[in-house]
Structure 1
Amino acid sequence: MPESSAAPAARPTPSEPVELSAEDAKLVVLARGARGRVGAVEGAAVRDQDGRTYAAASVSLPSLTITALQLAVASAAAAGATRLEAAVVVTEASTLDGAGHAAVRDLSADAPVHVAAPDGSVLGTVTA
């Protein structure tokens, strides 16, 4: 995979058992579904300023590699979203990938990015 100039991986802030709002819990369900449908490494979902949601799975092709979070943000932007309210990535990794994090920050400086395990349990949240 080519070197990326995106920000380094961000480590989610460990926290006590995380209580998500109903809207953010829905993002976890959508991200898990996107990941599971195609057996992808990661799934992600975002919610835009109008409450619309976009879900995606990571893609790894010979000519294209994109993280689930990048693809979810790209789908939102392509649909006209100008701001994100929240994002979720479901992954087996212990960190949030830098490229996905940077994509979220392109549309929102303060949207929480929840990182969840494949079973849906939230590992932590990146807010910066």
Structure 2
Amino acid sequence: MSEPAAELSAEDSKLVTLARATRARTGAAQGAAVRDRDGRTYAAATVTLPSLAVSAVGVCVAMAVSSGSTGLDAVVVLGDGSVSDADLAVVRDFGGPGVPVHAGDARGTIATTTLS
């Protein structure tokens, strides 16, 4: 269930900066950033090709998994201010229940926080 956004921690604010910069650099529909359980961060943008379509969150999680990460501490997704059910499922599959997913607009203003 989505809740109005609360004050972000300094670490989660860094994820906003990474997601915003990645989205702006690529011009993609969404930018995302995740922090894994070891404190490593991954940032990515939506991939939309004729033969491949992956959400920004999906790319971030794939990067974390392929780097040997064992789970997630937090997720930020920026774009239209929402997070899809499919992205929440990906976060839950890899990070387990209770991972905060902060969703905001392209400027980085967080509108909601949802727990996976």
Name the counterpart of 1:89.
Answer: 77
The secondary structure found in structure 2 opposite 1:75 is: helix
Which residue in the other structure is 2:4 paired with?
14
Match in the other structure for 2:13: 25
Deviation of 1:12 (Å): 3.1
Q: CA RMSD in A?
A: 1.3
In the alignment, structure 1 residue 67 sits paired with structure 2 residue 55: yes
Gaps of 5+ in 1: 1-10
Moved over 4 A (4+): none
Structure number with higher strand proportion: 2
Q: Which moved more, 1:99-108 or 1:62-71?
A: 99-108
- Please give the TM-score of this superposition, normalised by the length of structure 1: 0.85
Say which of 17, 38, 56 aligns to 1:50.
Answer: 38
Q: Who wins on radius of gyration, i.e. which is larger? A: 1
Aligned pair count reads 115
Corresponding letter in the other structure for 2:78: V
2:85 maps to 1:98: yes
1:105 shift after superposition? 0.7
Post-superposition Cα deviations, 1:65-116, rounded to whole Å, max 9, x if no partner, equal: 0000010011011101111000000011x43112211111112211100001
Contact 1:90/1:116 (CA < 8 Å) preserved in 2? yes
Residue type of the alignment partner of 2:88: H
2: CA distance between counterparts of 1:43 and 1:101?
Answer: 15
SS in 1 for 2:2: coil
Structure 1 residue 119: Cα displacement = 1.2
The gaps in structure 2 that reach 5 residues or longer are none
Contact 2:82 2:112 in 1 (8 A): no
CA distance in 2 between counterparts of 1:102 and 1:78 reads: 18
